[in-house]
Amino acid sequence: MDGCLFCEIAAGERPACVVLDDEVAAAFLDTRPVFKGHVLVVPRGHVETLPDLPAEEVGPFFARVQAVARAVEAGTGAAGTFVAMNNRISQSVPHLHVHVVPRNRKDGLRGFFWPRVKYDGDAEIEDYAARIRAALNEPPHL
């Protein structure tokens, strides 16, 4: 869709620190992360909300979300993840996106009052992305 930030990122027309890019989805680091390693997963095709995603695409899309959640934990050393999405309300970009946020006990995240952090620069952003990309290529630990 013309003018959609996430469509432009998925198409490679706008820079982003991409950690996953395939025929189903793109995933990239959030530029305003709750915690470092916060990833957004978006479907490749433009849809605004989860109800707009065709039923046959839900499973493949959430398989990518699941893989990214594993990779965020492994790549950042987090104890877990917070996985969430908004549909219209509080949705800053009108393109379906799932937040995968690394979590640790006593990390300060309470309810929906999310603190925001900043990366120390491009090198740190790329380091987080590289660790998550590498973890995406590892088999799941069962």
Comparing CA positions, the residue from 100, 86, 81, 103 lying closest to residue 28 is 100
Whether residue 38 lies in the annotated active site: no
Of 46, 97, 99, 141, catalytic: 97
In whole angstroms, give the CA distance from residue 6 to residue 22.
14
Residues in CB range of 106: below 8 A, 6 or more apart: none
Tokens for 128, please give them.
Answer: 């987080």
Which residues belong to the active site? 97
